[in-house]
Amino acid sequence: MFVTGVVLFLSQAYKAYESVFFRTKIVLLVLAAANALAFEYTSRPSVAQWDTAAVPPLPARFAGWASIVLWAGIIAAGRTMAYTF
Amino acid sequence: MPHALFPFFQWADASWIGTTVRNSRYWFPILELFHLFALTILLGTTLLLSLRLLGVLMPKQPIPELAHELAPWMRWSIAVVLVSGLCMFFSGALRYYTNISFAIKMVFLFAALVFHFAYFRRIVQRDESSVSPAAVKLAGIGALVLWFGVGLAGRSIGFVG
């Protein structure tokens, strides 16, 4: 997705630059990456301790919800972008 | 599209749903977003379950357990995809009537639905040892080819017409 996305972006770079939805999408992508990195360094190392727990610790649950919301937002911004092109 | 279906396409295009979606700036994009969200869930769960059937991933996870876990996601994503898709179809029925990608998508869609409810769902509910390996493989490959065929043909509707 990263590679194909970059190529698609290169083919429409000016239109993308001007699009508020494209900018939103990039912000959300950065946030999704930050969320994944934060999970990797805070919750992931201790996963063995709560792997079978009924409810995972709050930071892990937050990372899960944030991931769903951010990626859904990325799809929404990306798709909406095409309507304004 | 077969000529016999033309009256249905005319009716859909002129229907209340069709005109409402067509005459609004927001309805189509909103429907398309729901269509896309549900589509990612449907293709994602289909991919997981099919690759399990093909023995590519989660070899220790029993198929019926995985299928049971994913069943509500598959069921609801199919429902949302169909409802949102129908509403979008109504809004442009006469345009889609002449769109070759749309016709191909419908062939894949009906094949995928029949395959899913008549075959795939029955195979994944049974213990792997009680079904022939070929039947399990067919379920996995069939679901992947048909559902991703729907997705690819669907995406190309916008490029053709």
Q: Are B157 and B102 in contact (CB under 8 A)?
A: yes
Minimal Cα distance from A82: which residue of B? B29
By Cβ distance, the residue of A75, A80, A83 closest to B37 is A75
pLDDT for res A80:
92
| pLDDT at A85 > cutoff 80 | no
Confidence tier at B128 by pLDDT (50, 70, 90): confident
Query: Tell me, what DSSP letter sits at residue A12?
Result: T
CA distance, residue B98 to nearest chain A CA (Å): 22
| pLDDT at B129 > cutoff 90 | no
Confidence tier at A50 by pLDDT (50, 70, 90): confident
Which residues, including other chains, have CB under 8 Å from residue B68's CB and lie 6 or more apart? B125
